Structure 1
């Protein structure tokens, strides 16, 4: 029976698999293909120079033992490096390299010199000088589905997130984009999906990273001439979670490299999860080719939590911390802090602290003091509710009238100003602004903003309205 390259390599793999951890085997040996057997020389194909360097540094002895068992003491191992055309090159490129510093076979196609001979893993998360092949997920295990309470404001996003966690890369929700305003739980949900995947599929490599850190890592890779290593590192990930993807706006180089990484992961059935403060349609300075890919899967918006959800969140925090509090206090906090979950949590924790440290009974009066101070301290994160209150107070009407269907001129102008300032001071989408200010659509909000811009330049009294309200919101 003749010996083939494939049969020799399969026998080598059986030996190797018994001598290393499963994750290392999946990462470093499953992608290898046996391509040729000449005399006692086995040629194997690896996906990058980085791969070659890592194998030679960490597994050369194991490879030598495995190959000697199959081909005898004169066995030789040679590498064919072939990267597919993923990065926009006109041609795929290959290079043949020897194992353990034997003379190289002259490349038959494009010669790509090794630019970085540092044998350490080009893992952007590893501290220089410390070798560590393991890719840490960077996930926060405190963010789970168990403490991400479901409500009307997040039901679609949570349900889709659970579906992704149960079948990463295997649903139509790829990519899965979670968007919404500040403090509504986008990051929490992204972590929860990752944590659930790690629990159900421990063999999968999951990585959470902010777009800001991703950008800095890319800049560093360009400076160190290790761009291809950077790309290859991210191609190893099974589930990539990128937080605040809108941070890529205007960064052409980072968008380009992310485009290629995204394509590779998506084509290979890997899961991509993104969070953003706005919907793809509202993102500025993001390349159209990226935006179109963001729309391939599912974009799910998280809205401000309704009253019932806010009460549930507060009760859950109190239960978690082992604190009992009267229902009327909980209801007061829930009614008066509406903008986001982060402010809600901060207020109840402040109330618990005030009671504990100052040995004061938790009363409605104390709750009023804490909520008032807390809302004042976080006013810099202006919410749509807060804007509506300021505008309504300025024109001496109530918020219900502002949101009503009435076409009275003074109310219409107040409503348009609320929409204008909501667009100016918040990161909410036009659709989100419209839904919160009287259930209008995004076209109405766009019209309101244009109307305000026009009136400011033609009507002095209206300009004074704008200036006065702007000052109040900027305090």
Structure 2
């Protein structure tokens, strides 16, 4: 049988597909077209130079093995880099002008492996609002160590933060990962560390950024074919602070680029500071190689503030705003608002506002009214983990069984209910819900929600399940 470019490439794809994940295959191999076979050289067409560079960096060994199996040891692979003049084809990370303004693109041919003849990067990646290397640290001057009050709930994290501020990159706390629930002061603390470092080491480049913005910048750099500039920019930072690192969950491309940035910074004695809503061991859809690096330094947890710390926080707010308040009222608020610092601040500010706007004296009765209304209006955050626990307890299952692949009817129903309530009570996407509840896809979650809706109208016993669990989650 005569070999053609198409037949050789199809056989290569069969081998490649068996050796990588489905998503990677769809992203990096499905868009490729075989265009020519000359002697032992196969020409393939890729949508962009970035696409080609990614294949060379990540899949060159796999490509060599696949092609050698088909054409022997003398096999060669050459690329044609060409943007098609249509919008219909799959062309990841390629921005196009309208056809009237688009210059014709001449295909480029390159032999593999590519040797980078000019490793110098032309320009560092530029964050909007940050010009060249005069980097605005993006730090909030209101968040300092002076108004981050120490207590048993945060002593370890605060002490570690001070140690890092005194010697960034020079302690064993690298990375320093601060984790804990909503409103406990994670963001405040990392800003305080950054501000202290800037005061002590003015020449050091400090940058605070949220994981969400970091991810968006990475996506933009891929679209613009400036990924190397993006990496180079972040490798220039002396102290990199990334807030809410759990946002990287499931974002394999961003995790990969952060892994390389992290390694460079760590190996060169730079400091990395992270925050997360959970400990590394509890993070889901984060690559193991990245999680292992999170564990290299210190993971310090912030707990709910104790009574004495809550008193200190309230006194500081009153002092800052120039307000005097009887001690019994301060103590009442501190005793009744326990969950986190943010809610504590909200309660005392509401009390000050009620007093000021209504010209009422701050009394214990007024404090009780305000705190009671405030507590009622606090919408308790319900997580997917919490929903799974409530559903598992209700059906007397353990969570591992709930997430398992078993098709036993009572377990399937429990799993479907967990998905249904996760969609109802959280803002998580269907894909995120599925990944957390037994690593299912979004279609499974959608089917579960429809099944629950149908059973509620046709099955009295099932409707009781829904009502009971709904009450538990709505308390």
Calculate the TM-score normalised by the size of structure 2. Answer: 0.58
Aligned to 1:200: 200
Q: Is the 8 A contact 2:123 2:229 kept in 1?
A: no
**Cα RMSD (Å):** 3.3
**1:132 shift after superposition:** 4.5
Query: Residues 377, 463 of structure 1: CA spacing in aligned structure 2 closer, same or farther, 3 A cutoff?
Result: same
Alignment partner, residue 261 of structure 1: 261
CA distance in 2, matches of 1:310, 1:364: 18
The 1:164/1:133 distance shift into structure 2, 3 A limit, reads closer
Please, what TM-score do these two structures have when normalized by structure 1? 0.58
Structure 2: distance between partners of 1:195 and 1:361: 39
Q: CA deviation at 1:307?
A: 1.0
Q: 1:336 to 1:255 in 2, by over 3 A?
A: same
Q: CA deviation at 1:320?
A: 1.2
1:379 paired with 2:379, answer yes
* Counterpart in the other structure of 1:470: 470
Q: 1:216 maps to which residue?
A: 216
Whether 1:332 aligns to 2:345 is no
1:126 corresponds to 2:129: yes
Distance across 1 between alignment mates of 2:328 and 2:279: 37
Aligned equivalent of 1:321: 321
Cα gap change, 1:173 to 1:466, in 2 (>3 Å): farther
CA distance in 2, matches of 1:356, 1:289: 54
Q: Matches of 2:217 and 2:281 in 1, distance apart?
A: 27
In structure 1, distance between residues paired with 2:382 and 2:467: 17
TM-fit CA distance, 1:124: 1.9
Unpaired runs of at least 5, structure 1: 1-86, 92-108, 391-420, 427-459
**Where do residues 8-407 of structure 1 align in structure 2 (5 Å cutoff)?**
111-112=115-116, 121-126=124-129, 132-381=132-381
**Equivalent residue of 2:209, what SS?**
strand
Give the Å deviation of 1:226.
Answer: 0.2
- Please give the alpha-carbon distance, in whole angstroms, between the structure 2 residues aligned to 1:220 and 1:113: 26
| 1:368 Cα offset (Å) | 1.2
Cα distance in 2 between the residues matched to 1:164 and 1:90: 40
* Change beyond 3 A, Cα 1:284–1:425: farther
> In the TM superposition, what is the alpha-carbon distance from 1:463 to its structure 2 partner?
10
Dislocated runs of 4+, deviation >6 Å: 87-91, 113-117, 460-463
Q: In structure 2, what is the Cα distance between the partners aligned to 1:473 and 1:332?
A: 28
Q: What is the Cα deviation at residue 133 of structure 1?
A: 3.7
> Aligned partners of 1:462, 1:313: CA distance in 2, in Å?
47
Deviation string for 1:419-445 (max 9, x for gaps)?
Answer: xx9xx989xxxxxxxxxxxxxxxxxxx
User: CA–CA distance in 1 between the matches of 2:296 and 2:132?
Assistant: 35
Q: Give, in whole Å, the separation in 2 of the partners of 1:379 and 1:126.
A: 35
- Corresponding residue of 1:63: none
- The Cα of 1:135 is off from its aligned counterpart by 1.0
CA distance in structure 1 between the aligned counterparts of 2:244 and 2:255, rounded to whole angstroms: 13
Give the Cα separation in 1 of the matches to 2:307 and 2:252. 42
Q: Give 1:152 deviation, angstroms.
A: 0.3
Per-residue CA deviations over 1:170-189 (Å, capped at 9, x if unaligned) read 00000000000000000000
Change (3 A) 1:345 1:201: same
Aligned residues: 301
Q: Give the secondary structure class of the aligned counterpart of 2:152.
A: coil
Structure 1 residue 310, shift from structure 2 partner: 0.7
Cα shift at 1:377: 1.9
Tell me if structure 1 keeps the 8 A contact 2:124–2:232.
no
CA displacement 1:55-112 (0-9 Å, x = unmatched): xxxxxxxxxxxxxxxxxxxxxxxxxxxxxxxx87989xxxxxxxxxxxxxxxxx9554
Deviation at 1:375, TM superposition (A): 1.5
**SS of aligned partner of 2:146:** coil
Classify the secondary structure of the residue corresponding to 1:190.
Answer: helix
